[in-house]
Amino acid sequence: MNAVRPRVALTLGDPAGVGPELAARLLARPESLRAADVYVLADAAEIDDAARRAGVAVSLAAKPSEAAAALLDDASAPDRAIEIGVVSQAAGARALHQLRRALALVRDGRVDAIVFSPLNKASAHLGGMRQEDELRWFAGEFGVTGVTSELNVVDRLWTARVTSHISIAQVPARITVERTVGTIGLLHSMLSASGVATPRIAVAALNPHAGENGRFGREEIDVIAPAVRMAAAYGIDVRGPFPADTVFIAAHRGDYDGVVTMYHDQGQIAMKLLGFDRGVTVQGGLPVPVVTPAHGTAFDIVGKGLADAGATFHAFDLAVALAS
């Protein structure tokens, strides 16, 4: 850990979902305030309501300390309450507003990482997000044009994917040598930043049985295998392509620290089975760590005291570790 405590911006995510109550539980956890200076981007009434729903007490102050988080209230909450459990333009706009405030803190050098509670993509798009997902939105806001990838983490296993929120029909054309090498390199760098001294990376094939020597497609021969060789030539410990239906067995038993997959569900199904209540998403390739729980807004259980804060705690702890 650095001698200076990491500074973390925290937003409540979609106000219609479980995000606010999860953020309240995070703030009520003593370990959170001991680990970092936390700046909460919300209005006081929102925090009060979130703490009530979560059944916890939250300590707030003008400046962050080991006893309280700092509340950055800009009095921007809508006059009318946002209906919980419902997709809406108001909820999406509210979530994006607070994320923009967090980005401003990064640009001003006031925070070292961002943790945000879950977003609802439908509401976010209604609220003004034009990109296909929040990673591309963050990249646009930061002006990032290099390689980015959503990285998913369960316990010690990380994944990154070459393509993400696009249709299956679009996937083969988006898999290129350059993108695959870039994704391998990004995963390697993030694993190193998280404390893995010599990351071991496996790369999944696109087609069944890794294409079976071209019988089921040539992406493995023409694109993925050359990308693995190129990344290995850069000094990365990477192997593959391996059939996607077995690569996570090897990774789960500890043979690899990370897996590069070719599309969204190829990795997400495995990771959510391994630990849905612990999964974390890192927006990889941005100037600072930007981390969120891997689950969604869970509209069906808002305010019922059923939301599990485990992934939120893990997201915060990982953001602190990366920022340190």
Hey, which bits of 90-248 come out as E strands?
113-116, 149-154, 157-161, 200-204, 237-242
Q: Is 172 exposed, middle or buried (0-12, 13-18, 19+ CB in 10 A)?
A: middle
Q: How far apart are CA 228 and CA 259, in angstroms?
A: 12
The pLDDT profile of the chain, 324 residues, written as one tens digit per residue, is 345 899 999 999 999 999 999 999 999 999 999 999 999 999 999 999 999 999 999 999 999 999 999 999 999 998 888 999 999 999 999 999 999 999 999 999 999 999 999 999 999 999 999 998 999 999 999 999 988 989 999 999 999 999 998 999 999 999 999 999 999 999 999 999 989 999 999 999 999 999 999 999 999 999 999 999 999 999 999 999 999 999 999 999 999 999 999 999 999 999 999 988 889 999 999 999 999 999 999 999 998 989 999 999 999 999 999 998
Structural domains of the chain ordered from first start: 1-144+286-324 (3.40.718.10), 147-283 (3.40.718.10)
Handedness of CA 98, 291, 261, 233 (dihedral sign): positive
Q: Which amino acid is at 24?
A: A
Kindly state the tokens that stand for 155: 């316990």
CA distances from 68 to 42, 61, 101 (A): 15, 6, 20
Q: How far apart are CA 239 and CA 232, in angstroms?
A: 8
Predicted local distance difference test score (pLDDT) of residue 305: 87
Residue by residue, what is the 3-state secondary structure of 153-169?
EECCEEEEECCCCCCHH
Predicted local distance difference test score (pLDDT) of residue 169: 96
Give me the half-sphere count of Cα atoms (radius 13 Å) on the Cβ side of residue 155.
13
Q: How far apart are CA 73 and CA 304, in angstroms?
A: 26
Kindly state the tokens that stand for 323: 């920022």
Q: Which of 14, 20, 42 is nearest to 121 (CA)?
A: 14
